Structure 1
Amino acid sequence: MSLVSSTPLLQAARANGYAVTAFNVHTLEMLQAVVEAATELNAPVILQSTMGTVKHLGADYIVTAARVAASKTHVPVALHLDHCHEFEMIVQCIRAGYTSIMIDASMKPFADNVADTKRVVELAMAIGINVEAELGKVGGVEDDITVEDHEATLADPEECERFVAATGVATLAPAIGTAHGIYKGVPNIDFDRIGRIASRVGVPLVLHGGSGIPEEQVKRAIALGMAKMNVATELRIVFSDAIKKVFADNPAVDDPRHYLKPAKDALREAAKEKIRMCGAVGRAVGHVS
Structure 2
Amino acid sequence: MPLTTTGELITRAVAARSAVASFNVITLEHVEAVIAGAESVDAPVVLQVSENAVRFRGGRLLPLARAAVAAAEHAAVPVALHLDHVQSDTLLHQAAEAGFSSVMYDAARLPYEQNLAVTRAAVDWAHAEGLWIEAELGQIGGKNGRPPLDAHAPGARTDPDEARAFVADSGVDALAVAIGSAHAMTTRTATLDHTLLTRLSAALDVPLVLHGSSGVPDHELTAAIAGGIAKVNIGTALNIALTGAIREFLADRPEAVDPRGYLTAAREAMTRAVARTLKTLGPATA
Class of the TM-score when normalised by the shorter of the 2 chains: over 0.9
Aligned to 1:37: 37
Aligned to 1:162: 165
Q: Which amino acid aligns with 2:157?
A: L
Task: Report deviation, 1:17.
Answer: 0.9
Q: Secondary structure at the match of 1:95?
A: coil
Task: Report deviation, 1:93.
Answer: 2.9
Q: Which amino acid aligns with 2:133?
A: V
Structure 2 CA distance for aligned equivalents of residues 116 and 145 of structure 1: 25
Q: 1:32 to 1:177 in 2, by over 3 A?
A: same
Q: Deviations along 1:216-264, whole A, 9 cap, x unmatched?
A: 1101000011001111111101101101111100111111111100110
Q: Secondary structure at the match of 1:105?
A: coil
Q: Secondary structure at the match of 1:134?
A: strand
Q: Please state if 1:245 is matched with 2:248.
A: yes
- List aligned pairs for 1:1-289, cutoff 5 A: 1-57=1-57, 58-141=60-143, 144=144, 146=146, 148-150=148-150, 153-182=156-185, 186-281=189-284, 283-284=285-286
Q: 1:134 to 1:145 in 2, by over 3 A?
A: farther
Structure 2 CA distance for aligned equivalents of residues 92 and 185 of structure 1: 34
Q: Secondary structure at the match of 2:230?
A: strand
Task: Report deviation, 1:148.
Answer: 4.4
Give the CA RMSD over aligned residues.
Answer: 1.6
Structure 2 CA distance for aligned equivalents of residues 182 and 52 of structure 1: 17
Q: TM-score with structure 1 length normalisation?
A: 0.92
Q: Secondary structure at the match of 2:4?
A: coil
Q: Which amino acid aligns with 1:20?
A: V
Q: Is the 8 A contact 1:3 1:66 kept in 2?
A: no
Please list every run of 5 or more consecutive structure 2 residues that lacks an aligned counterpart in the other structure.
Answer: none
Q: 1:38 to 1:120 in 2, by over 3 A?
A: same
Q: 1:120 to 1:242 in 2, by over 3 A?
A: same
Structure 2 CA distance for aligned equivalents of residues 76 and 247 of structure 1: 35
Task: Report deviation, 1:184.
Answer: 5.8
Please list every run of 5 or more consecutive structure 1 residues that lacks an aligned counterpart in the other structure.
Answer: 285-289
Task: Report deviation, 1:185.
Answer: 7.1
Q: Deviations along 1:268-287, whole A, 9 cap, x unmatched?
A: 00000111111143x21xxx
Task: Report deviation, 1:124.
Answer: 1.3
Task: Report deviation, 1:73.
Answer: 1.6
Structure 2 CA distance for aligned equivalents of residues 116 and 257 of structure 1: 44
Report how many aligned residue pairs link the two structures: 281
Q: Secondary structure at the match of 1:47?
A: strand
Structure 1 CA distance for aligned equivalents of residues 132 and 283 of structure 2: 20
Q: 1:148 to 1:268 in 2, by over 3 A?
A: closer
Structure 2 CA distance for aligned equivalents of residues 224 and 4 of structure 1: 26
Q: Is the 8 A contact 2:186 2:240 kept in 1?
A: no
Q: Is the 8 A contact 1:210 1:229 kept in 2?
A: yes
Task: Report deviation, 1:2.
Answer: 2.6
Identity %: 39
Q: Secondary structure at the match of 2:76?
A: coil
Q: Secondary structure at the match of 2:23?
A: strand
Q: TM-score with structure 2 length normalisation?
A: 0.93
Q: Which amino acid aligns with 2:27?
A: T
